[in-house]
């Protein structure tokens, strides 16, 4: 029996086998494998000359350093990476508008917040330290509250400390500090926190409460300063007393039926392999198209993994403002990497390469697949909140923890996370739905992976069928009818806010 291979685009000169093949194995279409080829790695479909482009997704992912025969394993050591797309005069809006699939559902049941543009899907009391110095006290108070207070407020899902590493000891009056300060400010306003604000400061930190709060919010009912409290006991008492008042208000909230235009969802991938870009990410892309078509806001990020396919995103920008900001975000990130002596070849990771992702271009094309086909309505700087609906590029590093924190700051209430190699990643402030790129991962981790997209590689399900399953799971999770595994186990990674400013 021949081994199934997947060629994504008709112009591709490489394909990937859906399972590991041994030298001499016969592949679908009659090709013979010339090497032992790991699952998901590339195989030459025809003889390729030295210097010839390697084409996947219909795009050049690099140039061959040496000639290869049909059936040969094409791995990362054989490919030269070309420079990234030019950001100056990048054409935009040139892609013909795709007809989005018709969403079968247009409402969900969430927690509306009067005056806010998005609704929450969980009912969480969040407490933000203004500076890391107070986190120990805040954590102790949260532990005590979970034991003694939370059981009295059954409508409240959790109490979450928004711990972060900054607030002091970092250069404040520099342009790049606007990123972490703005991110913290917006994080406080994540819709899952129900509009309640609670900040605990020390009293001598650089980040004063007025930098996080609007004047009317900066009041004793929202802010505690530990240096004004009498001892540890006084600190804990002050935090519990403030929290109790807020828990009463949160506990009175009820879910109501809301249009999907009130929902803001984030997409990201991590621990990717060669299947991510052909199974889980396109499935997420289809769900994204359904959500965008229903009027929801869908955020995708991971600047370093979009950079090499940025011309494809620019082509989908709905307006000049978005296209210009897209180029500006990429330029800023290029400079940020350069300042650190790094470049885009710092990504992919060894795990990515082992999984068959040879170059950053190949990874980018697979990464972009999660954005579906909808037009890009808006581009955000890291931690900014959207003003539009539909598909939105929210600039943020690809690092899973940083992307998670930055999308939370931008206001996502749920994240969809695609993984090939597998990661138990989760967030305390928003449920995370995990989608596997291969069936073998779902079999290995049946109680961590929510949805298996490996069915696409096996040919037992189409992208649209799996995408619809994911869309329904997103709406069920948003409505409180489904709890993703990471939420059930409370798998909460530390919040890692993006801070490009110098630590002093």
Give the binding-site size for Ca ion (rule: CB under 5 A): 5
Tell me 500's DSSP state.
Answer: -
Torsion of CA 394, 400, 406, 409, to 10 degrees: 110
The residue of the chain with the least Cβ separation from Ca ion equals 270
CB of 227 to Ca ion, least distance (A): 38
With contacts defined by CB under 5 A, name the span among 22-30, 139-147, 337-345, 398-406 that binds Ca ion.
398-406
DSSP codes of every residue in 163-195: --S-SSSB--SSTTHHHHHHHHHHHTT-GGGTT
Site for Ca ion in 251-310 (CB under 5 A): 268, 270
CB of 268 to Ca ion, least distance (A): 5
- Opening angle at CA 263, ends 434 and 312, nearest 5: 70
| Three-state DSSP state, 400 | helix
Contacts of range 207-212, beta carbons closer than 8 Å, 24 or more positions apart: 207/130, 207/131, 207/166, 207/167, 207/168, 207/172, 207/181, 208/130, 209/130, 211/181, 211/185, 212/128, 212/130, 212/181, 212/184, 212/185, 212/188
Strands laid side by side in the 124-129 sheet: 158-161, 124-129, 199-201, 223-225
CB of 396 to Ca ion, least distance (A): 9
- Given candidates 378, 400, 450, 461, which one binds Ca ion under the rule CB under 5 A? 400
According to the binding rule CB under 5 A, does residue 337 interact with Ca ion? Answer: no
H helices of 357-412, where? 360-368, 400-410
CB of 270 to Ca ion, least distance (A): 4
Between 142 and 278, name the residue whose CB sits nearer to Ca ion: 278
Between 129 and 420, name the residue whose CB sits nearer to Ca ion: 420
CB of 289 to Ca ion, least distance (A): 21
H helices of 94-221, where? 135-148, 177-187, 209-212
CB of 398 to Ca ion, least distance (A): 4
According to the binding rule CB under 5 A, does residue 432 interact with Ca ion? Answer: no
Per-residue x/- track, 211-250, Ca ion (CB under 5 A): ----------------------------------------
Task: Return the structure tokens found at 258.
Answer: 């809301």
- Given candidates 398, 435, 456, 491, which one binds Ca ion under the rule CB under 5 A? 398
With contacts defined by CB under 5 A, name the span among 1-9, 20-28, 349-357, 393-401 that binds Ca ion.
393-401
CB of 399 to Ca ion, least distance (A): 6
Positions touching Ca ion (CB under 5 A) are: 268, 270, 398, 400, 403
């Amino acid at each position: 029996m021949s081994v199934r291979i997947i060629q994504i685009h008709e112009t591709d000169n490489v394909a990937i086998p859906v399972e590991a093949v041994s030298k001499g194995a016969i592949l679908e279409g009659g090709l013979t494998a010339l090497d032992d080829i790991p699952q998901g790695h590339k195989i030459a479909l025809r003889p390729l000359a030295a210097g010839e482009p390697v084409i996947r997704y219909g795009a050049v992912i690099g140039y061959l350093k040496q000639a290869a025969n049909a059936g040969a394993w094409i791995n990362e050591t054989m490919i030269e990476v070309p420079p990234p797309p030019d950001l100056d005069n990048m054409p935009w809006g040139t892609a013909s508008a795709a007809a989005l699939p018709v969403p079968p559902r247009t409402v969900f049941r969430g927690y509306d917040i009067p005056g806010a543009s998005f609704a929450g899907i969980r009912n969480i009391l969040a407490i933000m330290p203004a500076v890391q110095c107070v986190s120990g006290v805040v954590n102790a108070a949260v532990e005590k509250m979970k034991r003694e207070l939370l059981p009295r407020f059954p409508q409240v899902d959790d109490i979450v400390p928004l711990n972060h590493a900054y607030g002091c000891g970092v250069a404040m009056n520099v342009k790049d500090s606007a990123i972490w300060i703005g991110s913290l400010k917006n994080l406080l306003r994540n819709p899952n926190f129900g509009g309640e604000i609670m900040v605990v400061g020390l009293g001598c930190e650089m980040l004063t409460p007025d930098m996080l709060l609007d004047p009317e919010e900066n009041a004793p009912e929202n802010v505690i300063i530990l240096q004004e409290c009498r001892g540890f006991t006084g600190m804990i008492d002050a935090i519990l007393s403030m929290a109790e008042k807020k828990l009463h208000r949160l506990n009175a909230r009820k879910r109501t039926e809301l249009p999907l235009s009130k929902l803001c969802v984030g997409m990201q991938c991590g621990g990717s392999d060669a299947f991510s870009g052909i199974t889980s990410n396109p499935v997420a892309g289809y769900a994204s198209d359904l959500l965008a078509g229903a009027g929801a806001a869908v955020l995708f990020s991971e600047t370093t993994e979009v950079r090499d396919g940025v011309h494809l995103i620019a082509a989908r920008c709905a307006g000049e403002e978005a296209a210009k900001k897209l180029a500006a975000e990429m330029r800023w990130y290029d400079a940020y990497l350069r300042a650190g002596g790094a470049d885009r070849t710092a990504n992919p990771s060894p795990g990515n390469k082992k999984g068959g992702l040879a170059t950053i271009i190949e990874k980018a094309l697979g990464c972009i697949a999660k954005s579906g086909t909808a037009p890009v309505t808006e581009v955000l700087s890291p931690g900014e909140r959207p003003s539009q609906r539909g598909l939105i590029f929210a600039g943020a590093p690809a690092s899973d923890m940083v992307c998670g924190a930055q999308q939370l700051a931008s206001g996502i209430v749920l994240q969809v996370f695609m993984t090939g190699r597998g990661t138990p990643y989760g967030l305390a402030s928003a449920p995370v739905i995990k989608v596997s790129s291969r069936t073998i991962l779902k079999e290995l981790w049946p109680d961590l992976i929510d949805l298996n997209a490996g069915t696409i590689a096996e040919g037992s399900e189409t992208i649209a069928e799996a995408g619809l399953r994911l869309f329904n799971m997103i709406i069920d999770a948003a409505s409180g009818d489904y709890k993703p595994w990471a939420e059930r186990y409370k798998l909460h990674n530390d919040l890692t806010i993006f801070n490009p400013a110098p630590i002093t």
